[in-house]
Structure 1
């Protein structure tokens, strides 16, 4: 039977790997080399695999050691953040909210969804934008408190993630005023105007393509964008007509360069908050779900 796992042994292994050898680790920790070596051997026995192998006059990590080092880095980096996080919570100096934002999310919608948590002046928001799958991995490792996305997390036996619906928003279409003169009414105008669309990484893109097909419209696609803010920026600059969530209409309507030309209530974007726990404990994440 394998020896029980010991985090002190993991810490000694972590220091040896970071320092590049037993002797340097012993100097840093103020301990005998033999003691450090025994701690690392105990960890290897507990895990059932060698973590180091000879390399010239020194040593290097085995494949198992590389995996162990990656996890140890995460564990001890979180540990280094613990005192500051506890101090902030105990003194009421701040409420930290680390949110992952899927790169397919419309930025104006993100602001709308996060607004309930930002009403408290003590909130310190950490927003990380990245690819959906990478954000889910960070969430599972508790680097993030929640992830905002336009799709629910797919079931994965290796990841315990829970999707909470935040709401649905229909799409409207905005066009540069300069392009509208002499064009037919919506939606026929989409057959003659240059069209800007999100790329296929956005959950709504297949629904847009299907909608065009049902309307019998073959759009002249002038641009495709992964970043929704760039899509809107190019649309507002005059490049073409573009779809936008109803939750972002208020700001777009204030721009005299574009005009709302049509609504498509049958085209809906769905938004989700994904957490690593079924019963959410973080008070700010609770507020976001309750507001929805």
Structure 2
């Protein structure tokens, strides 16, 4: 292909695909059906593949059309963000950083991981908490600048995403102070005597915790499971039971007189990853996060 892509042709195809038919697309564009159809045919000729096929009373995407639509979605969604980005730059509103936070990731850890990018008070941080797979889909569509997760990027040829290791944090166990005082056995055997709170299997560390129980022959009485780590710690602090927390949460927990440190489990670690849609990161704030993680002691 020697001629550049005609984005007007791509836009007409995108609208047709969104509307599911030529007539509805023409009505939305306030154009003649023949004109829209001709523009889409020119795009198909440029690509060398049919993008649409009849489906009932409308049109459906071919395999080539689905591939083209995925790219068109990214292109025009980025276009919708352009006015706001330019306005922010001109007004001196600072740089925007949109980060997806995988559910189950400890919120105190999130604050620790994001801190290097927040030194400039003009930074505008947007955090979206959601399921891991949905965040990856938003990242692939460039709705997010990066995703923070407790698991690496999955091997999926349909998603061109790249993982960057941010670090590891060993776990420790905390319990309400009155429970610690009543406990007669040392750690970790005391966990068999105490009610225990755990993250659900949404959190990658749950599997490591279950394996650690098995290795130590522990059969804890689980009284609560939480997808949200902040909620887990809140119930633990209120007296519901013993609970695990990563090293980067320890400082705040140790200042809380309602809880006591039971013991540390350095062999159980949470792993933290940043996932981007680019192999070479261009967003300067995302670059800061990765660089700070590389320089931090582990």
Whether TM exceeds 0.5 here: the answer is yes
Task: Report the TM-score when normalising by structure 1.
Answer: 0.86
SS at structure 1 position matched to 2:182: coil
Q: Where does structure 1 lack aligned partners over 5 or more consecutive residues? A: none
**SS of 2:62 mapped into structure 1:** helix
Go from structure 1 to structure 2 and tell me whether the alpha carbon gap of 1:200 and 1:14 turns closer, same or farther (over 3 Å shift). Answer: same
User: Which residue number in structure 1 is paired with residue 123 of structure 2?
Assistant: 123
Instruction: Give the 5 Å matches for 1:33-48.
Output: 33-45=33-45, 46=47, 48=49
Please give the per-residue CA displacement for 1:80-116, whole angstroms capped at 9, x wherever unaligned. Answer: 2112213323553220101111112111100111111
CA distance in 2, matches of 1:232, 1:151: 21
Question: Which is worse superposed, 90-99 or 112-121?
Answer: 90-99
- Distance apart, 1:197 and its partner CA: 1.0
For the structure 1 residues 54 and 249, does the alpha-carbon distance in structure 2 shift closer, same or farther, using more than 3 Å as the test? closer
- The 3 A distance-change label for structure 1 pair 212 and 44 is same
Q: CA deviation at 1:274?
A: 1.5
* 2:104 aligned residue: 104
Cα offset for 1:70? Answer: 6.2
Give secondary structure in 2 for the equivalent of 1:110: helix
Structure 2 residue ranges without an equivalent (≥5):
294-298
Aligned to 1:200: 201
Which digits, 9 at most, give the CA deviation of each residue in 1:176-211, with x for residues without a partner? 123233212221210100111112222211211121
Partner of 2:150: 150
User: Partners in 2 of 1:47 and 1:5 — Cα distance?
Assistant: 13
Tell me which residue corresponds to 1:276: 277
State how far apart, in whole Å, the 2-side matches of 1:263 and 1:54 are. 61
Provide the residue aligned with 2:240 in structure 1. Answer: 239
Partner of 2:296: none
Q: Give the secondary structure class of the aligned counterpart of 1:61.
A: strand
Distance 1:273 1:202 in 2: 16
TM-score normalised by the chain length of structure 2: 0.85
